[in-house]
Every structure is written in structure tokens, then in C-alpha cells.
Structure 1
Amino acid sequence: MDVARRNNVTVTGNPRGRTVVLAHGFGCDQNMWRLTVPALAEDYRVVLFDYVGAGRSDATAFSAARYGSLSGYAQDVVEVCEALDLHDAVFVGHSVSAMIGVLAAGMVPERIGALVMVAPSARYIDDDGYRGGFSADDIDELLASLESNYLGWSAAMAPVIMGNADRPDLGDELKNSFCATDPEMARVFARTTFLSDSRDDLKTVTVPTLVLECTQDVIAPREVGAFIHRTIPGSTLVTLDAYGHCPHLSAPDATNDAIRTFLESLR
């Protein structure tokens, strides 16, 4: 299996620096990190990839059975790390990729030595004593809308997810990214994402972890960031002065500064 081709792996930056793996969220691809890469490339080796079904990955490798759970996506991460023979890498995951990174770190602890969670959520559905931001009915309605009219859902939801209504270009970019994703594969990833519950997985994290939350985020409210921070012993929580669910696009300087500060603390 050619993992580099399957996951459209890109390696850039300083070959002598510690490796940082950047992982995109639902409906996105590695291009979403284009404002982060320059901030890291001088000092760090940077690895980017697309999950199967996203970006320029090999769509023929898609399996609804494998990618019907977050562990299938985590296996992509593991195989990328193994193909590049990574050791003690820092995994930076946006949104659902934060939890995928938790799973991958548990599978190959020798290959992932630290985690950065950008706008993470351990569970999107509210539960007793836990606020995820959505009711079960909300998620059912969201998934039904996505499955019945994916392009229409993308056009309506992208600006809401991105936030920053005064910067419509950001919402347009996310919409275009959603629309570039194969609808059938997107439906599988959406169900896997929004029905996931990774709260217990957080308790397995033993590596240094940075949790980055936004001041306002309709997908991952601040109660979620506080929960993740409390559940992962020794984690660091930083609240970015940013709006929406994609701070690496809407507030790249603040996001990059927080990531770099964390990376420097690991030296």
C-alpha cells in the first residue's frame, strides 16, 4: 500500500527539526493549514495529509466500514506515521481530528509524543452533566439535512461554522471545501464525527497536550474546552481571541503563536 499516495502526504519545513503533523477536520483538507505551515517550517519538519475521502487522497481506498468509526481515521494517522517512520511527533488536530489524534497516540505512543487540539469536541451531543452544544434532535436534523441535500447543507452551514460574518470570504472557502468533498464519503464522515463520544478516550492521554478553544464557537462551546482540559491531566488550555470553529484561518497569528509557544515548551 502506497500510503503517501493514498493520503496525499506532503512533507516540508526543516528536516532537522521535530516533526509536527497537521490534521484537518471534517469537510476540509490539508490546504486549510496553509497559514500555519510558514509559521512552523523554519524550525520544524511539517507533515500534512488528507484523510481518505478528502482533498487529493485516493478515493478508491475509501471504505464505509473502516471510516464508520473514528478508529478508521486514526488508522490513517498511524499508517502515515509508520510510513514516514516518525518518532515523538507532535500531532496537531483540528476539530474531530483532535480526538482522532487521541486514538492514534494510544495506538502508537512511541510515534506521537504530544497533542495540540484546535477547537476540539469530545462529544457534540449534550448529556447529563455535560454540554456538547447540541441536543440529540439537533444532530438528527443536521444529519438528515446533510444527507438529503449535501450541497445545500454546505452552503447554509459553512458560514455558520466559520463564524466571522463580516468576512464572508472565509465562509465561502469552507463552503467550497465542503462542496469539493464527495457527498457519499462526506455523509459517512459526518455521522462518524457528530455521533462520536470520545470522553472516555481523553482519560488515556498521557502526553503533553495543548487545548485551543475560541471565544465563540457554535460547534465546540467553551464548556467543551473546559471539560477536555479537566479530563486530560496536566493539559494546557488557551482561549484564543477568535470567533468561529476554524481559528487557524480566521485568527492565524494568535493560533500560530499559541502552537509555537507550546512547541517551544517541549524542548
Structure 2
Amino acid sequence: MTAVARNNVKIHGDGTRTLMFAHGYGCDQSMWRAMIPAFEKDFRLILFDYVGAGDSDFSAFDRTHYSSLRGYAEDVLEIIEELKVGGITFVGHSVSSMIGALAAIEKPSYFENLIMIGPSPSYINDGDYKGGFDRSDIEGLLDLLDSNHLGWSATMAPLIMGTDQSPELIGELEASFCRTDPRFAQHFARVTFLSDNRADLPKVTTKTLILQCEKDMIAPIHVGEYVNRCLPNSQFEMLQATGHCPHMSAPQEVIDQIRRFL
């Protein structure tokens, strides 16, 4: 099976420069739909689903291959190689920020830019580093996900989207969480929330834009600032948007920042 088929790759636009959009945990490529019209006239857009998400091929899921974020980064590189494209601007939401970073470390020549929306290299507090959660908090969330997938989805969707966002957006995120296969959701949650990629950040040489929101319970402001300090070639932009999903709740602001950066 090709990576393009396995990851349900969709291509929009026919511009000379390429944007690759990578969704966050519990989501799929449909979460980028508000961004597509703004870029498809001038860019070639690559959208895809990670294995286990959206309309990807679930039979391709392998616990060993996907035991760390590097397995997902390898899939990103395989998609790029099959499509025979280069000079990519990789736009990663949440955990995909680190997946993109790992891919760019492995094959820096493939990437022109990285754009990280709400990145976090580690979600767990560790000494002077404040990731936002104690390990016991993360373990509790993972236990809830294992025992009550629908309950976890209903609890976490408003917290992740932002409690001040519209009920429609919160409902859309909850629905996305709910329709994700529980086996994949549980596995990817552990890989995501127990990962620690702090040591990888200084290895990223690709020019990077970090987009940060206020009131982001998943990736607080000081985490985005930490990522900016650790990346040797990055710039940090604070959005007026709140919550963890500004590409859904405030797409125009994200579009404007990306266009300015490019």
C-alpha cells in the first residue's frame, strides 16, 4: 500500500509552493477546511490523516511503528517522497508541531518552513520546566479515556477548544473525538501526552513560526515561549485567539499570520 492511500492524502490547488497541513490529536484533515480557500489559489495544499484517524487505512496501524512520534514523522516523510515534492511549509497543529520537527530533523532538505500552532515538546512538569500538567494529571486523563471514551470526549472538548468558544465548535471537536476508534485514540493519547521532545528542539534548523493562543490549557503561553527559546531559527507570534484550536475558532487570524510569515 502506498503512503498516499494509507494516509488518505488529498491535494488542493496547483501553486508552485507547497503547504502540508497536519492535524492534531483526535482530529483529521477536515479540521483545516476553513484554511483551504485562503491558500489553494496560490499554493499546492497537501492534507492527510494519520493512521487511525479520519479515512486512513486502519489496517496499517502497528503498535511498534507508532510507539513514538517518530513513527508518525516517518509517515510524513514517506508521503513527501511519494509525491516527489520539496520546499514544503509544514503546518502542524498541537502534537503535529513536534511530528513536523522530527521530520525536519531527519530530512531538513525537504522543508522550507515549519509553522507550529500550539506546540508543546512535553506536557508534563519537570523541575523548572512547566509543561502544564503533573504526571498524575496526565495518568488520570489517560485512565478516563481508557474507561470512558465518550465521557472523556465530552469533558475535554470544551477545555481544549476553549470554554468561551461557540457550542458548535465545541460540539464539532467532541464529535471528532467520539468518532475516532477508541483503540487508536487510547494509543495515540499515550504517545502524545507522555512524549518528551525537549532535547530535539535545538536540532531543528528549519525556519519556524510559532503561533500561540491565550487561555490554552494544553499548551500554555510559557510553553510556546520555551519552544521559541530552544529553536535556533524561530519567531513567536501571540494571537488574539483563545483556546487550543485557532485554525478552527479564528481561522482568519491564523491565515494572516501564515501569509505574513511566508
Q: Which runs of 5+ in 2 are unaligned?
A: none
Question: What is the match of residue 9 of structure 2?
Answer: 9
Alpha-carbon distance in 1 for matches of 2:106, 2:233: 21
Question: What is the match of residue 218 of structure 1?
Answer: 217
Offset of residue 165 of structure 1: 3.1
Alpha-carbon distance in 2 for matches of 1:177, 1:242: 21
Offset of residue 100 of structure 1: 0.2
Read off the aligned partner of 1:221 and give its amino acid letter.
P
Q: Measured at CA, do residues 239 and 35 of structure 1 come closer, stay the same or move farther in structure 2, by a change above 3 Å?
A: same
Give the SS at the match of 2:203. Answer: coil
Aligned pairs for 1:127-166 within 5 A = 127-166=126-165
Offset of residue 17 of structure 1: 2.1
Aligned pairs for 1:30-179 within 5 A = 30-179=29-178
Q: Measured at CA, do residues 161 and 16 of structure 1 come closer, stay the same or move farther in structure 2, by a change above 3 Å?
A: closer
1:7–1:51 contact (8 Å) kept in structure 2: yes
1:113–1:208 contact (8 Å) kept in structure 2: yes
1:69-123 Cα offsets, whole Å, 9 max, x none, are: 1001111101111111121101000000000000111122221221000011111
Offset of residue 2 of structure 1: 1.7
1:88–1:112 contact (8 Å) kept in structure 2: yes
Read off the aligned partner of 1:244 and give its amino acid letter.
G
Offset of residue 166 of structure 1: 4.7
What count of residue pairs does the alignment treat as equivalent?
Answer: 262
1:102–1:205 contact (8 Å) kept in structure 2: yes
Alpha-carbon distance in 2 for matches of 1:133, 1:250: 22
Q: Which runs of 5+ in 1 are unaligned?
A: none
Alpha-carbon distance in 2 for matches of 1:17, 1:236: 25
Alpha-carbon distance in 2 for matches of 1:78, 1:119: 22
Offset of residue 131 of structure 1: 1.0
Offset of residue 222 of structure 1: 0.2
Q: Measured at CA, do residues 172 and 209 of structure 1 come closer, stay the same or move farther in structure 2, by a change above 3 Å?
A: same
Alpha-carbon distance in 2 for matches of 1:53, 1:227: 30
Q: TM-score, normalised by structure 2?
A: 0.98
Alpha-carbon distance in 1 for matches of 2:16, 2:33: 19
Read off the aligned partner of 1:67 and give its amino acid letter.
Y
Alpha-carbon distance in 2 for matches of 1:234, 1:73: 24
Q: TM-score, normalised by structure 1?
A: 0.96
Identity over aligned residues, as a percent?
A: 53
Read off the aligned partner of 2:34 and give its amino acid letter.
L
2:214–2:242 contact (8 Å) kept in structure 1: yes
Q: Measured at CA, do residues 228 and 101 of structure 1 come closer, stay the same or move farther in structure 2, by a change above 3 Å?
A: same
Question: What is the match of residue 26 of structure 2?
Answer: 27
Offset of residue 164 of structure 1: 4.0
2:209–2:235 contact (8 Å) kept in structure 1: yes
Query: Which stretches of structure 1, 4 residues or longer, exceed 2 Å deviation after superposition?
Result: none
Give the SS at the match of 1:68. Answer: coil
1:74–1:100 contact (8 Å) kept in structure 2: yes
Question: What is the match of residue 255 of structure 1?
Answer: 254
Alpha-carbon distance in 1 for matches of 2:18, 2:137: 39
Q: Measured at CA, do residues 202 and 166 of structure 1 come closer, stay the same or move farther in structure 2, by a change above 3 Å?
A: closer
Alpha-carbon distance in 2 for matches of 1:118, 1:93: 6
Offset of residue 58 of structure 1: 0.3
Give the SS at the match of 2:205. Answer: coil
Offset of residue 234 of structure 1: 2.7
